[in-house]
Structure 1
Amino acid sequence: MLLRLTVAILSFALFVWFSPQIYYAYYRLIIPGLPPQWVIGWYPEAGAVVTLLSFTGSTTLSAHAKGVLGWCLVATVLIARRRPRR
């Protein structure tokens, strides 16, 4: 269970880190003339992930949606562990 929980949290951090680049790629498709570039910075620190999961950071809908996504990943790991295997 610890491995699955670690993978879930790392997947969440990867999503938080890489999603701006995905959005920028989408914007390049719909807005002609945008230059190809990287819009992401360094991998987020653990504190940034904890801030999103605890809903203590930015009060935007985007930040809250990321926090809900993180908790859904954690809940999926915990619920999947409780279900008996056949």
Structure 2
Amino acid sequence: MRAVVVIVCSALVIGSIAALWRGGLMSPYADDSFWTLTTAGRAGVIAITVSGLALVLWIAQKLTPTFAKLPFLAAAILHSVAALAIFAVIYGVSPQVFYSFYQIIFPDLPAQWVISPATALSRLGDAIDLITAPNLSDDIAGLTFWTLIPFAAWCQRR
């Protein structure tokens, strides 16, 4: 049931953002660096992305009892804020996870720390824009961000 709710919430977000459906859903991403990876590389990126999304949604759903004693509107708002904060943290550390994976694909990459709080906030701002997000990664992150709001409200249904 939760999977259906996530799909419906995502469809609502996609349907409300004309830039995501104008000209076909994948056409804006023809030049995305995702397509430069091998099939195995793309599969790895997809697996990491889906795992991260599942983690965010699982944690968001687990927050439900925390706000259950509050009136619905307060619970829905606070649950949404908490879910978005969790998303922001996971999104903030995701570049390091992907970089570690890229080190497997491209063995010449040096071992280094690639995230910083300032960069994470800037990336999050770019991703939640959805209108001018420059790549598939940012649009998936933005879609997830905006999907969490109705999903958290749904979790608080009475």
**Deviation (angstroms), 1:18:** 1.1
**1:38 lines up with 2:113 in the alignment:** yes
Match of 1:66 in 2: 141
Deviations 1:32-85 (A, max 9, x none): 23221111122544x764553342443322211111111222221011112x3x
Of all paired residues, the percent bearing the same amino acid is 28
Deviates more, 1:26-35 or 1:73-82: 26-35
Match of 1:15 in 2: 90
Aligned partner letter, 2:134: T
Q: TM-score, normalised by structure 2?
A: 0.44
Aligned partner letter, 1:26: F
1 CA distance for matches of 2:117 and 2:104? 25
Instruction: Say how many residue pairs are matched.
Output: 82
Q: Give the CA RMSD over aligned residues.
A: 2.3
Q: Could you list the runs of 5+ residues in structure 2 that have no partner in the other structure?
A: 1-74
Q: Which structure has the larger Rg over C-alpha atoms?
A: 2
**1:80 lines up with 2:134 in the alignment:** no
Q: TM-score, normalised by structure 1?
A: 0.73
